[in-house]
Amino acid sequence: MGDIRLVVGLGNPGREYETSRHNIGFRVVDKLAADAGGRWQSKSKFEAAVTEAQFGGRTVLLAKPRTFMNASGRSCAALLHWHKLAPEQMLVVVDDADLDVGRLRVREKGSAGGHRGLFSIAQCAGSERYPRVRIGIGRPEPGRATDGLVDFVLSRFREDERARVDEAVARAAKAVECAVARGMAAAMNEFNG
C-alpha cells in the first residue's frame, strides 16, 4: 500500500442533501478541512471541490465530488489520473447502512458491498484496492418497502442519533488523520472495534 495522498468524502451535491445520512463522508472531509484551515475550491476538471491539509507533516488533497453519489468514480478517477496516484493512495470516507449508527470500520481494501458510490469508484479507477473509512448510518426499520433503503439514506438523522453521529464524524476525521500520518495498519488498530 502506498502513502495516502488523496482523501475523498462521498456525498451528493446540493443543499437538499447536505444533512442526509448519505452525506456523512462530506461531513468528515469538511471537518478535516476546517480543522486544517483549508478553503474549498471548485475544480471542474475533477468535478470536485478540493483543498489541501497537513496531518503529521504530510500534505494530502481533500476532495468532495460534485457528481452525484452513483457517479463518484468519474471524479475520483480524474483526481487519481491528474495527480498520478495509484488507487491505494486514495482513502475514501463513506456511509455504511450495514453498520450501526456511529460505528466505524477502517479497511485497506474491499468490495463495494452494495454501495453504488464505491461501485462507481471501483469501475472508474479499475480497482477495489483503495482504503476506506466506513461510517455506520443504520438501516430502515423492518417492513419498509424495497425502496426504503434509498429513501432512508437520503433522510436526515433522527434527533436521538445526532450526538452519536457528531462523535462518529469527529472519530472518523481522527482515523483519517491517523491513516495519513501513521499508515492504515495503525488506523485499523486504533479505530476498528
Which positions are annotated as active-site residues? 22
* Residue partners of 101: CB distance under 8 A and separation at least 6: 136, 137, 138, 157, 161, 164, 165, 168
Residues 6+ apart with CB under 8 A from 128: 109, 110, 111, 112, 118, 122
Task: Please say whether the beta carbons of 10 and 69 come within 8 A.
Answer: yes
Q: Which is it for strands 104-107 and 48-55: parallel, antiparallel or unpaired?
A: unpaired
Q: Count CA atoms within 13 Å of residue 55 on its CB side.
A: 26
Distances (CA, A) of 110 to 12, 60, 169: 22, 22, 21
Kindly state the cell numbers that stand for 139.
438501516
